Amino acid sequence: MNSKIRILYFFLFLFLAQVAIAQEKPILVQLDEVAVIDQKIMMPMRDGTRLATDIYRPKGDAKVPIVFSRTPYNFNTYGNGEMNERTLQTALSWVKKGYAYVVQNERGRFFSEGNWDILGTPLTDSYDAFDWMSKQAWSNGKIGLLGCSSTAEWQMAAASLNHPALAALVPQGYGAGVGRIGNYYEQGNWYRGGAGQMLFTAWLYGTQHDPMAPRLPQGIEQKDLLRLQRFYDMAPEYPRVDWKEGLAHLPVQDIIKNVNGPKGIYEEMITRKPNDPRWYQGGLFHDDMPFDKPSMWFVSWYDVSSSPNIALYNHVRQNAISQMARDNQYLVIAPVLHCSYTRASENTVVGERSVGDARWNYDEVITAWFDLWLKGKDDGTISKMPKVTYFTMGTNQWQSSDVWPPKNAVMTPFFLDSKGMANTRNGDGKLVAKAPKLEAKDTFKYDPMNPVNSYGGNVCCTGNAVQGGAFDQSEMELRDDILVYTSEPLAEGVEVSGFIESYLYLSSDVLDTDVTIKLIDVYPDGKAYNLDETIQRVRYREGYDKEVFMENGKVYEIKMTPMSTSNYFEKGHQIRIEITSSNFPRFDRNMNTGGNNYDETEGKVATNNIHHGGKFQSRIVLPMLKK
């Protein structure tokens, strides 16, 4: 080996050694080398309340744009949790890109002063924060919002205030911030079709602050907070709960109390009806609120609220104040669970079903998005993007469209048919293309004390009670209280992409009950993978501003809240739906009494009938694209 090669290897060794040393440095040390770190700034709100804020910005005198995240979660950098490490990694990434990264706790959370209320804190907190940040000497006056789930759901209502410094949004998994959008009255994922979603029961157990819990006194100086955060971060330790058992407790209003959980807002919120005036006083975004900000929306097929999230995208794209805002709405839909975008791999398995390589260049696109709107730098990435980028399961490919649903999707009805024995997958329930002429009905008993258990699905935040994703439903379909309707094996493959409508005709012997439906892709070997599901509380069939109870034996048309998916049913596969009256504990049980449900401990067994044929054309309508 000659001397030049030895020297080359020597310098290569030194370089690799330096890289290895750098990688071994604690993340906070790496940040300190490139950033001005200013933690526990107490940002003042107009009423004197101060919100705990950490700021990481590039060293030097340059004025920089701000990427801002607000959260109810603990981000204390001296803690040991995943959120703490992720905050520092995110801060380092944005500082290296020439941005200030600002993270703040919501009012009443951890070191922030005031009283916390899930999305009930004043919207003025957002406006005041934008004002304060944009006026700092190191700020270029441009702010972008970034976050998933609880760090995203507040963004839309905050954007409705139209602060001039707010330049762009990146909401991801943002359903808990969607109030009323068109026919969706989710009120922040609290409801689906008027039935309660139980995710917030488990989530609030580990989030809401007990009013008797110790708090730091107001007015503490930053220097003392910096000292305190090293050993005391205001994060309570909640005992673990077996939510499979915990969510089964009755009455529902006492579930958190029953596991000795914290007192808080749950007991009040559980009493609200879908159109309660209190839903319109907090931080939820409703379709009568203005919107005029460029946004990059991220949705996932197995999240808790893909349909209302997509509906919000469509609403903003059609109704934003300016043409500029209407032209700058982008949607990305991934085949993953809640906030699991970057966890996609070469073989992405969601539940039990592989959807292949579902990776996507999130970091590149989000960076280009903020560069465009916060720095005025355009590298062409965004202009080349379609308005909608979506993943189709089955073909396991990313696709694009100018609109959602895709323009060439044809709404195609499949009608329910049977000879009255559609119970279980071994029954005679069929999905047929031609409307049956003969009237028939399928009957099942719904016992709220023995509900159909949630198995997989489009869920979030229920602890060990429900695991989200696609799971083989074939064993579940042996229950006699599940009606199963299946098409013939497909002669050719077909893509289903868009909103899925369902119209069912129901009669019952109780005042009120629920109707649930699930869309399934049946493989030739019999495996039956769930795609989406929805529910309708029958008392709200005529709207969410009133309750209309049933008369014994009378037949009612039930229009279900639309589902959503993009799935390719291959040749030889079958399209299937399941119908029953419970999907527990994803949704709370209807006690069938016509009462409040939340304060009841005893229910009635309902005899429910699904009518089809003749004048009762129960059907599911699929947005189909032939390949």
Residue 9 has pLDDT above 60, yes or no: no
Residue 10 has pLDDT above 80, yes or no: no
- Helix/strand/coil for 180: strand
Residue 8 has pLDDT above 90, yes or no: no
What are the pLDDT digits (tens) for 557-570? 999 999 999 999 99
What is the average pLDDT score of the chain? 94
Q: Which of 21-35, 347-361, 422-436 has the lowest mean pLDDT?
A: 21-35
Q: What is the pLDDT of residue 76?
A: 86
Q: What is the pLDDT of residue 211?
A: 84
Q: What is the pLDDT of residue 77?
A: 80
CA–CA separation, 100 vs 67, rounded Å?
A: 6
Cβ(304)–Cβ(197) under 8 Å?
yes
Q: What is the pLDDT of residue 17?
A: 46
What are the pLDDT digits (tens) for 41-67? 999 999 999 999 999 999 999 999 999
Q: What is the pLDDT of residue 577?
A: 98
- Report the candidate in 162, 141, 250 with the shortest Cα–Cα distance to residue 603: 250
Q: Which of 74-78, 145-149, 337-341, 545-549 has the lowest mean pLDDT?
A: 74-78
Q: What is the pLDDT of residue 517?
A: 98
Residue 208 has pLDDT above 70, yes or no: yes
- The stretch 480-488 carries a mean pLDDT of 98
DSSP 86: H
Cis peptide before 217 (omega within 30 of 0): no
Q: What is the pLDDT of residue 617?
A: 97
Q: Band of the pLDDT at 82, cuts 50, 70, 90?
A: low
Residue 18 has pLDDT above 70, yes or no: no
- The stretch 255-280 carries a mean pLDDT of 94
Q: What is the pLDDT of residue 232?
A: 86
Q: What is the pLDDT of residue 20?
A: 45
Would the CA dihedral through 171, 174, 179, 181 be positive or negative?
positive
> What are the residue boundaries of the structural domains of the chain, listed by start?
32-151, 410-626
Q: Which of 82-91, 390-399, 574-583 has the lowest mean pLDDT?
A: 82-91
What are the pLDDT digits (tens) for 294-327? 999 999 999 999 999 999 999 999 999 999 999 9
Q: What is the pLDDT of residue 5?
A: 54
Residue 285 has pLDDT above 50, yes or no: yes
CA–CA separation, 391 vs 495, rounded Å?
A: 12
pLDDT > 90 fraction of the chain, expressed in percent and rounded: 87
Q: Could you tell me which residues come within 8 angstroms of residue 135 by beta carbon, excluding any fewer than 6 positions away? A: none
Distances (CA, A) of 254 to 58, 226, 261, 561: 49, 39, 10, 28
Q: Which of 23-37, 55-69, 413-427, 507-521 has the lowest mean pLDDT?
A: 23-37
Residue 330 has pLDDT above 50, yes or no: yes
Q: Does domain 410-626 have CATH number 3.30.300.130?
A: no
- For residue 621, the cross-strand partners are 413, 501
Cβ(600)–Cβ(531) under 8 Å?
no
Q: What is the pLDDT of residue 309?
A: 98
CB-count burial class (<10 Å; 0-12, 13-18, 19+) for 36: middle
Q: What is the pLDDT of residue 21?
A: 46
What are the pLDDT digits (tens) for 210-230? 888 888 889 999 999 999 998
Q: Does domain 32-151 have CATH number 3.40.50.1820?
A: yes
Cis peptide before 448 (omega within 30 of 0): no
Cβ(591)–Cβ(602) under 8 Å?
yes
Q: Band of the pLDDT at 14, cuts 50, 70, 90?
A: low
Q: Which of 67-81, 252-266, 538-552 has the lowest mean pLDDT?
A: 67-81
DSSP 373: I
DSSP 184: E
